[in-house]
Structure 1
Amino acid sequence: MGNDVFALVIGINDYFAKDDFVALQGAVNDSRAFVKFLLDPVEQHGLGASPENIVQLENEKATRQGILSAFETHFLNNEKIPDHGDATMILFFAGHGARMSVQGTAIEVLCPVDERTVDVAGSTVYAIPDYVLGWLLAELERKKGPNITVILDSCHSGGMNRREDDLGLVRAASSPSEEVPATLDAHFWPNGRAATKNYRLWAPTSSSHILLAACRQEEQAREGWSTDGLMHGRFTAKLLSRLRGLPLHHTTYEELIAYLPRLPDQTPHCGGQRRHSLVFDGFFSFPGSESWSFRRVSIEGTQFENYPSWVINAGTVEGVVPGTEFSVRLPDSKSTVFCTLVARTVQINHTIVIPDITSRADQTWKNIVPGSRAVISNWKNSSIISHVFVSSTFQYTNHLFPSNLQRHQAGMLFVQAATENGADISLSNEDNELVIQWHTQKKLGKVRPETRLKLEAKQIENLPLIIDGLVRFCYFLERENEAWLMTGVSLEMHRVDGLPPISKPDSKFGINGNLVENGVVQLVSQDDAYYGFTVRNESGHDLFPYMFFFDPVRYTIDLWYEPPDGRVLSPLRAGSTLTVGMGTEDGIEFFLEPDETTSSGFVKLFFATSSLELGWIAQAQSPLDPSFVDRNRSDTDEVIDDKTQGAQQWGALDVLVTMIQA
């Protein structure tokens, strides 16, 4: 990795505004310890980075201007970092954090050493809002590549617990930061606004970076004595210990955070779309079927208490049922299966699995070690499987349904139909094209009953993966929970008025600003038109919402929102609302391709009374793309008390958005 690692490391103990920032004792120690980890050779469990690739800012050097300038010169404009490459870029910050209010919305900020002072020009020095840093990270991803990691050992809750107690000194300002003038960082937004994406640093759907934070947004990051006899941030000390002790080439970001020891009143946070990728690598760990990590648990008080048991964070929403079979792979293997686990207790967001009890002589489960992964080998769920009919003249039957069953990847969501009557999908050849006809997909059938594709040689070989990708798209688009009819949850869509951080619904469009009528939105193509959404919860339940966009032309699924704060706090309380694409977030733009006169897509909202892990549903690459490969799935090892799951439920709704040429 060595020469491909670039880092900006910031540590601040002593702030200029001493009345607002208590002096820290461990932030500079954190920055130095992290630099040592970067520089130590791999043989000493470091990254072996080159010293010239590391920029370190301590105390008085970590001014607002110094931090922003270093980011631009060391990352954005650094000729040593190849454009559009895979270099590892790391931003580490240890110091105070705070919040500021923008039009009633709380914004997280990082506190430079000179915040709340006056510079040589007589101007007030402000904090660095997370959306500004987020914009810089998005620019870095666009220019240099997506292998970006942000590590924050700071917090933003502040105010109340300013004293040091038995849990350690808090890394948060004593009061909120002053609101940053809208014009201060305006030069970062060309043409007066940013591109159409969410630049909030904490955005769980961020594609530009992985965020590893010392605590959740409502918690406090603290310092404490470490094994080296020095004061450190408790998060940094534990993180470095795991970074040096784990096989990073087999460890994902989510697993890294899950492996950290529990900290009192402090829950480390992992965010970003690529949190399932390998640490400091940026690539997925297991190309192929969705794979889950899992943890040994005890299930006392059930009929299976005498069997070894594990928990996997997939459940009824994903289509798992009692009897679903999981094949287990060792950490270093991408294909070798050595045992089978069977789903016995399935809840909304997790499944308890045990060895196959039909074969007591099979003891291969004893070889399961930490880091082993499970993939679904047999769904045992007829409702999830699509039946595909191919005629006798279809040219690619042997590729799609090979006689060598090992070539047909386990866990796929389709089987061959004997007749066209009752089939979900029909495949045929016409004019050197593959013709795909959808029969039972009600939502997709409204906008795209047929798909045509000219197959390249590689696509013919990967035809099972392509069809599986299309079927997965349809399955989650059509997915509903008929057993639980939730009322009081609605999804509104708005034309956005104004610019971040104070954009809001434009009441001139739609009914009181809401464009949705009977689950449908009709738009006319227009330049510089941006849109946002409001999720309204009048159900009487605290909910966890997940918003996706389904593109029926490319069969892609984009994740637009998921809860940022782990498994505990609901972001959508009963009687409240949640917005996407408004306020501090930039709006969402819909547009037509040059050869299109109309286009449609589905905005789908899943919601549940408990936290789910649905980010893996996203399918960023089109199955129609010649380079398409199936997605992977990794998951955290957190265990949820099975006794609390019975009353938890989920539901879904969607809005069809259609745009026509002006």
Structure 2
Amino acid sequence: MPLTDSNTPEGGQPKLRPSCEDAKPPLDYFALVIGIDSYKNIRPKLAGAVADAKIFEKLLLEKLVWKDNTHWMGHIQMLCDGEATRSAIIEKMRALKDNEQIVKDKTAIIIYYTGHGGRATTPESWTDWPGTDGHIELICPVDAQSKAATNCGTASGPWVESIPDRTINYILQELSAAKGNHITLIFDCCHLAGMTRAANDDGTTVERSPVDTLTISAECDVDIVSLDRGDSIKRTYSSDEEHKGFCASWDTHVLLAACATDEKARERDGQGDFTRALLEVLERVPIVKLTYKSLIKSLIMPPNLRQTPHLDGKHINRCIFTLFEEAVADSMTDCDSLEGPDSTTLSLHAGLVHGVVIGSRYDIYDVTDLPKLVPLVTATVVSVNICTSKLTLLEQSPIGNKFTPTSGLDNIRCCARLSTISHFELLVYCNELDFSTLRPVFEEKQDDKVKLIYPLRRADSPAKADICLEVVGGKILFSRGETNSFFNEESHHVTAMNPYNFFPTPRKLLPSHLPHQPPSDDINGIRQFLNHYFHFTYYMSMQSSVDLGCLVSIEMFQLKRDEKDNFHVVDGQNMLSNLHRQGYVKIPVATTGSLDKARSSNEAFRYGLTIQSKSEKKLYLHIFCFDPSTLDIDVVYSNTVAGNCLDKGSKVSFGLDNSMIQPIVFSLSEEQEVDVQCIKMFVTTEPVDLRCIVNTLVKATEKSRGLGTDHPATLEWASKVIPFLIMKVTQSQDVQTTRSISSWNSPSLGLSLCHWQLDTQLIGGNTDLCTVVFKKIMNFFMSFINVKNL
């Protein structure tokens, strides 16, 4: 079996790895597979869990195959029945981080568990752990004991607790830091204990939850997650979203679960319903054609049962067990037929909050064949609600004249990707009078690899352009134009503004060009950057008609660390209190260099952020970082799970209240004196996936509309942008004011990447002058920003 690179994309050739006689070869995947039927102290015993584990093992051995039919190099550890003790499960999971054959960001780590699962009351002293309704989730090892068995004297051996989600998440955080977030967690078990069989069961099904009450002590796994150790772990790992249960560490792994937290996982005829559905899809569809999202969408569960497979994690759009295709899938949106298999009308799971516009065109794809990116048909948007839209297939589609969404797909649904946006154009100025070099960029052909999603129109001067292109020495230089044609004053909470006065700052104070400089004959690269620029500007400009301050209050504080490494507010002053008057937040930075350097420095300033609900409705918070230099957009925090909403008075805290979400830290590069960064907050009254906003040039040809979920038109949403001025200071200077939003543990938010650097010779280190110049710069941003009171 050849040793292959586990990240070779579908269609590429596996790369032979160098061998070493003194070391074991690196692996493409490592799987820990656990199945338990014969519980010692928990009722009922199961009949299909061990069989499920063995079938899953067989599937990995047979299906993890490259395109040239060579198998992935892997290793599978099995723990079945008596082998799957509490100590063995934890030992095997923790040993993964020290396994030299598991290569960071290369080897896929798969953890599959099938058996009993349940819930228990969260110990009061676990202030570091965000439980759901006062409960934690558990998996039950073979030797776990229930309260009933102990009280009745039927328990065998010493007291053994189940394994709580808290323990598993801390282990996964350690593992992710050591080996990368290429981790898949698959659980075929219940998350709700103490329930009886459903009334509609036919007697052939068994629930994978114990009938006895489970309990967890406050001292459970103190060697793994003591508060002091927990604080240390939290400062080392990223947690972009305060998810709960087995996916509290949102960025460390992808979770596939048999059911939601308030549902039951069942087995029948010697096999789990979830595992049966999972294996059916994996047997039928090549693994290289499936993302985690499309896999869950393709599962066919038994009818008339309340068991909905659950998917969670930041990277659900990766191809399963690999690291590629995530950027492509991020740009895809679910869609379904509205009126049966022969209907020409589709429902798009995205709407106004995702930026969908009537008249825009979407290409329709088979969700099980995304790597090929061959669309089946094209449709146009005919109506838009808050988070759903209606599409109609084009009568004379350039791809095909007749299309049935479910024909030939065996109940696997389709998805859509934005092809051409309507009602917007990107105004482009070029220094070439005859436009000869860039004419091919405008004149598209059917077989072009990269197409313009956003129509272009020539502008006759930089003052009338969104973006300027200069042909210099065989390269294309990009710079910002002096207008923003996306801005619609009527749809924003901005008053007394000239919508065309966006960039009055003297250009010598700013970088003359954006960093991307493709060759002048690289038509695809130029189009890709123009799509990228449009996407950034479009979502930066997009605002809601609802004032965010009506739904939430926002506070930001400087923090200090005590002798136990806990963080406390310095002086209680809300650093956002003057945002409505000043228009930005000033962030002094004492530590220069990389963001990793700032994280490890005791001298780096940290900040806490609190967003508290003021609404009677359930709220869902999303925070994105907009980098005006790289034009990248990344998620800081996103809440897409129904059980993780903000009720009235509840709050999300960064770095405060022992939250799993980290304090905020900033960094400047050694050569920078001043920098600019913005965050944009969205609040919705239903869980909505806004992953479509994320934007990067690293892997994607573009980022367009996203993976929305279907919700009623009564859903409301609001948004707000907060800009930050980041300034270099010395330790002797007063640093009582603010800092910017970059999750302490999120490398993608490294503020050192920003290059809105002011000329230090012109500024001369004068802080007041920096502020004056920044106010001029912010005239550009204020075109986008709602500057009302929080």
Q: Give the alignment's TM-score, normalised by structure 2.
A: 0.68
CA displacement at 1:196 relative to structure 2: 4.3
Q: Which shows bigger deviation, 367-376 or 609-618?
A: 367-376
Residue number in structure 2 paired with 1:321: 357
Give the structure 2 partner of residue 649 of structure 1.
716
Q: Relative to 1, partners in 2 of residues 1:374 and 1:510: Cα closer, same or farther, differing over 3 Å? A: same
Equivalent position SS for 1:453: coil
| Residue in structure 2 matched with residue 133 of structure 1 by the alignment | 168
Instruction: Give the drift of 1:4.
Output: 3.0
Q: Is the CA contact 2:108–2:182 (under 8 Å) kept in the aligned structure 1?
A: yes
Q: Of 608, 612, 636, which aligns to 1:536?
A: 612
| Residue of structure 2 equivalent to 1:53 | 75
Instruction: Output the TM-score relative to the length of structure 1.
Output: 0.80
Q: Which of the numbers 386, 391, 402 marks the counterpart of 2:431?
A: 391
2:388 aligned residue: 350
Which residue number corresponds to residue 312 of structure 2?
271
Instruction: Give the match's secondary structure for 1:606.
Output: strand
Instruction: Show structure 2 runs of 5+ residues with no match.
Output: 7-26, 151-156, 488-493, 495-501, 591-600, 730-790
SS of residue matched to 2:545: coil
Seen in structure 2, the aligned counterparts of structure 1 residues 52 and 377 have a Cα distance that, compared at 3 Å, is: closer
Residue 572 in 1 paired to residue 646 in 2?
A: yes
Is contact 2:354–2:705 with CA below 8 Å preserved after alignment?
no
Partners of 1:7 and 1:220 in 2: CA distance: 27
**Corresponding residue for 2:570?**
508
- The separation in 1 between residues aligned to 2:322 and 2:380, in whole angstroms, is 32
Output one character per residue of 1:243-300: Cα deviation in whole Å (capped at 9) or x when no partner: 223343322211211222356333211112221122233321784993334221229x
Q: Distance in 1 between matches of 2:647 and 2:72?
A: 48
Q: Is the 8 A contact 2:117 2:138 kept in 1?
A: no
Determine which of 49, 52, 58 is the counterpart of 1:30.
52
Pairing partner for 2:687 from 573, 589, 611 = 611
* Separation in structure 1 between the aligned mates of residue 531 and residue 513 of structure 2, nearest angstrom: 15
Tell me, in whole angstroms, the C-alpha distance in 2 between the residues paired with 1:123 and 1:514. Answer: 54
- Is 507-516 or 238-247 further displaced after alignment? 507-516
Shift of 1:314: 2.1
Pairing of 1:402-551 with structure 2 (within 5 A):
402=443, 404=445, 407=448, 409-410=450-451, 412-413=453-454, 415-420=456-461, 421-428=463-470, 434-440=477-483, 451-453=513-515, 455=517, 457=519, 460-461=522-523, 462-482=525-545, 487-495=550-558, 506-511=568-573, 517-518=579-580, 520-525=584-589, 527-528=601-602, 529-551=605-627
| Native 8 Å contact 2:357 2:422 kept in 1 | yes
Q: 1:422 to 1:267 in 2, by over 3 A?
A: same
Q: How does 1:350-369 map to 2 (within 5 A)?
A: 350-356=388-394, 363-366=401-404, 369=408
Mark the CA change 1:657 to 1:6 in structure 2 (over 3 Å): closer, same or farther: same
1:72-87 to 2 correspondences below 5 Å? 72-73=94-95, 75-85=96-106, 87=107
Distance 1:288 1:57 in 2: 34
SS state of the match for residue 677, structure 2?
Answer: strand
Query: Is contact 1:493–1:534 with CA below 8 Å preserved after alignment?
Result: yes
Match of 1:298 among 336, 339, 353: 339
**534-543 vs 267-276, which moves further:** 534-543
- C-alpha distance in structure 1 between counterparts of 2:184 and 2:540, whole Å: 32
Q: Does 1:563 align with 2:639?
A: yes
Counterpart AA for 2:28:
D
Distance 2:520 2:572 in 1: 47
Letter in 2 for 1:215: C
- The answer on 1:89 being equivalent to 2:100 is no
For the Cα contact (< 8 Å) 1:255–1:635, is it kept in 2?
A: no
**1:348 to partner: Cα distance:** 1.6
Equivalent in the alignment of 2:16: none
1:66 deviates by 1.8
Equivalent residue for 1:302? none
- Between 273-282 and 305-314, the greater mean CA deviation after superposition: 305-314
| Identity rate, percent | 22
The amino acid of 1:490's aligned partner reads: S
Q: Distance in 1 between matches of 2:191 and 2:634?
A: 29
What does 1:190-201 correspond to in 2, within 5 Å?
193-198=234-239
Q: Does the 8 Å CA contact 2:329/2:370 hold for their aligned counterparts?
A: no
Residues 278 and 297 (structure 1), Cα distance of their counterparts in 2 relative to 1, 3 Å cut: same
* Amino acid across the alignment from 2:357: V
Three-state SS of the structure 2 residue aligned to 1:470 is: helix
Match of 1:426, as an amino acid?
A: C
Which whole-Å CA distance do the structure 2 matches of 1:603 and 1:628 have between them?
22
Is the contact made by 1:551 and 1:602 (CA closer than 8 Å) also made in structure 2? Answer: yes
Provide the alpha-carbon RMSD of the alignment.
4.4
Q: Which residue matches 1:281?
A: 322
Aligned pairs for 1:624-643 (under 5 A) are 629-631=701-703, 635=707, 640=710
Query: Which of 421, 436, 439 is residue 379 of structure 1 equivalent to?
Result: 421
The question of whether the paired residues in 1 share the 8 Å contact of 2:354 and 2:706 is answered with no
The aligned counterpart of 1:7 is: 31
Residue number among 133, 142, 148 corresponding to 2:183 in the alignment: 148
Taking structure 1 as reference, are residues 366 and 258 closer, same or farther at Cα in structure 2, changes over 3 Å only?
closer
1:341 equivalent in alignment to 2:384: no
- CA change 1:433–1:307 in 2 (3 A) is closer
Gaps of 5+ in 1: 300-304
Matches of 2:300 and 2:89, distance apart in 1:
31
**2-structure distance, mates of 1:645, 1:276:** 25
Provide the secondary structure at the position in 2 that maps to 1:481. coil
Contact 2:453 2:531 in 1 (8 A): yes
Per the TM alignment, residue 184 of structure 1 is displaced from its structure 2 partner at its CA by 1.7
The alpha carbon displacement at 1:401 in A equals 3.1
Q: Helix, strand or coil for the counterpart of 1:294? A: strand
Distance 1:570 1:76, change over 3 A: closer
2:353–2:387 CA contact under 8 A, matched in 1: yes
Q: Distance in 2 between matches of 1:60 and 1:374?
A: 47
Matching residue's letter, 1:249: V
Q: Is the 8 A contact 2:349 2:707 kept in 1?
A: yes
SS of the equivalent of 1:660 reads strand
Q: What is the aligned partner in structure 2 of residue 98 from structure 1?
A: 119
Structure 1 residue 310 displacement after superposition? 1.4
> Once the two structures are superposed, what CA deviation does each residue of 1:314-351 show, in whole Å capped at 9, x if it has no partner?
22223322222223356478455553212122112222
Residue 465 of structure 1, CA deviation? 0.8
Matched, 1:207 2:243: no
Tell me how far apart the structure 1 counterparts of residues 669 and 290 of structure 2 sit (CA, whole Å).
40
SS in 2 for 1:534: strand
Secondary structure of 1:465's counterpart equals helix
Q: Distance in 1 between matches of 2:687 and 2:588?
A: 36
Tell me the secondary structure at the aligned position of residue 223 of structure 2.
Answer: coil
**Bigger shift: 510-519 or 266-275?**
510-519
- Find the aligned partners of 1:310 and 1:488 in 2 and give their Cα distance: 33
Deviation track 1:367-425 (CA, whole Å, cap 9, x = no partner) reads 8653654332222222xx33222222689624643565754844523513332243222
| Pair 596,317 (structure 1): closer, same or farther in 2 beyond 3 Å | same
Check the 8 A contact 1:313/1:613 in 2, yes or no. no
Distance in 2, matches of 1:66 and 1:458, equals 60
The residue identity in structure 2 corresponding to 1:221 is K
Query: For the pair shown, which has the larger CA radius of gyration, 1 or 2?
Result: 2
Task: Tell me, yes or no, if the aligned pair for 2:693 and 2:704 is still in contact at 8 Å.
Answer: no
**Amino acid across the alignment from 2:536:** F
Task: Give the conservation status (yes or no) of the 8 Å contact 2:691–2:707.
Answer: no
Aligned length: 626
